[in-house]
Amino acid sequence: MVSKKSPTTKAAKKDRERNDLLAQIRHVAQGLGETFAPFCEVVVHDLTDPKHAILAIYNNLSGRQIGQPATELGLARIADPDYPQIIANYANTFADGRQAKSTSVGIKDETGTYVAALCLNIDLTLFQTMQAVVGQFTSIQAQNGLHETLNPTGADALRARIDEFSARRSTTPRSLKADERRILMRELKDAGFLQVRHASEVIAAHLGVSRATVYTSAK
């Protein structure tokens, strides 16, 4: 006679499966944390224990502690198995007022019940400062009637022709092989681009090679 598994045995198996799943999620969270340090906080929530949901934190930017309760989003998932599994790039705020961009991924078990969540919180402070600095640095003041170009005449067209040649070969100008550069130089010569002022300097700079290499390829 085959004995049936007791409810206790089934519960123990379910606990082991949950623990194994959470362990794997922690590995993923650690990897993400190490990759995006120090700008991104990565948090693992155990939604089966909402009062002590925070299981792990990597790059702690929020000041929260392991064992603290689930957030509003976590509680919403617990209450509704149809709650979206992925909520990406939503606005958030740290306790001290810093703006953040967050993404939350809900994890379900084999029954479709939410058991965990993996959350990423990016501190936008530094990026916003960088954006302001770059915006100021790249700002240009218009001067009435003034027009000047620092490019040799026809240089833009020459670079565009090189880009077009490279794109046809599914590569970049700096990745062209020696035989491809020779074909390119023949095309440029036939199209009259080698007559452009300072053509060799423009070609060498765009290909990332020396002028001597350009001359050799043109032979």
Question: Looking at this protein, which amino acid is placed at residue 161?
Answer: R
Q: Where are the alpha helices (DSSP H) in 37-169?
A: 72-79, 125-137, 155-168
Per residue in 124-172, pLDDT (tens digit) is 998 998 899 889 998 888 777 776 665 555 888 899 999 999 999 999 9
Task: Name the residue among 36, 41, 70 with its Cα closest to residue 53.
Answer: 70
CATH of segment(s) 13-125 = 3.30.450.20
Encode pLDDT of 5-34 as tens digits.
566 788 888 888 889 999 999 999 999 999
Single pTM value for the model: 0.64
CB 87 within 8 A of CB 118: no
The pairs formed by 24-31 with CB atoms below 8 angstroms and a separation of 24 or more are: 25/107, 25/116, 25/118, 26/55, 26/56, 28/118, 29/56, 29/58, 29/118, 30/56, 30/58
Furthest C-alpha separation in the chain: 99
Peptide bond into 38 cis (omega under 30): yes
Q: What is the mean predicted confidence (pLDDT) over 79-104? A: 95
Residue type, 15: D
